[in-house]
Amino acid sequence: MRLNRIMRAFALAIPLLAAVSLVACSDDDGDATAEPTAQPAADPTADATTEPTAVPTSEITVTDAWARATPGNPDENSAVYMLITNDGTADDRLIGAAVDDGLATTVELHETAMEDGQMRMRQVEGWDVPRDGGTLELAQRANHVMLIGLTKQLVEGDTVGLTLQFEQAGEVRVEAPVEQGMPMQMDDDGGS
């Protein structure tokens, strides 16, 4: 009878506790207080699994990269455009770029802005790429990677190999296929 009553009292407890009480009841009826000792066991294991909190890192992905084709005159300029996404847990910043094989004499980060009613390009030190899915879009008539003084013509079918420099992620490789851009003067030599 007593065993039944106690078992009913533990009916809502977890199976482990039920097993403990069963053993306790077989020789003594005062062991209901044994119950709490089993409870804290669950918490330390839960802490152990979540404890290795990762150091915040940047996680850069580059999509839709392309470089603008050029007509073929010597010492031309071009630009590279892309979408940069940071899926990491740390804010990052694009601070530089370089092209492979001496394709351009100078590579700069440029912004485009209206100045005295004209679109002008201006060199900048970099752009932020915020964490948690933040993006940086490089596009025509806007921010772009400027290639100054090309050593060869860029034609459709070519690929421009590029190394971006990020404050957190370090170097990130980009292969940008050459495509026809909007016909416009502003983007290649408007401000140079």
* Token pair in block for residue 100: 């492979």
Shortest distance (Å) from residue 78 CB to Cu ion: 9
In the three-class reduction of DSSP (H, G, I as helix; E, B as strand; rest coil), residue 25 is classed as helix
* Token pair in block for residue 49: 């699994």
End-to-end CA distance of the chain: 96
- Which one of the spans 21-29, 42-50, 146-154, 160-168 is the region binding Cu ion (CB under 5 A)? 146-154
Total binding residues for Cu ion by CB under 5 A?
3
Binding Cu ion (rule: CB under 5 A), the pick from 146, 162, 169, 172 is 146
* Nearer CB in complex with Cu ion: 25/145: 145
* Token pair in block for residue 98: 């370089």
Shortest distance (Å) from residue 123 CB to Cu ion: 8
User: With left for phi above 0 and alpha for psi between -120 and 50, is residue 144 left, alpha or beta?
Assistant: beta
* Nearer CB in complex with Cu ion: 62/146: 146
* Nearer CB in complex with Cu ion: 31/137: 137
Residue 143 phi, psi dihedral angles, 5° rounding: -65, 140
Binding Cu ion (rule: CB under 5 A), the pick from 62, 65, 121, 160 is 121
- Which one of the spans 14-22, 63-71, 118-126, 131-139 is the region binding Cu ion (CB under 5 A)? 118-126
- Which one of the spans 40-48, 99-107, 144-152, 159-167 is the region binding Cu ion (CB under 5 A)? 144-152
Can you spell out the DSSP letters for 144-182?
EEEEEEESS---BTBEEEEEEEETTTEEEEEEEEEE---
Element (H, E) at 17: helix 15-25
- Which one of the spans 2-10, 15-23, 96-104, 139-147 is the region binding Cu ion (CB under 5 A)? 139-147
**Calpha distance 140→187 (Å, rounded):** 7
Pattern 74-113, Cu ion, x by CB under 5 A: ------------------------------------x---
Binding footprint of Cu ion on the chain (CB under 5 A): 110, 121, 146
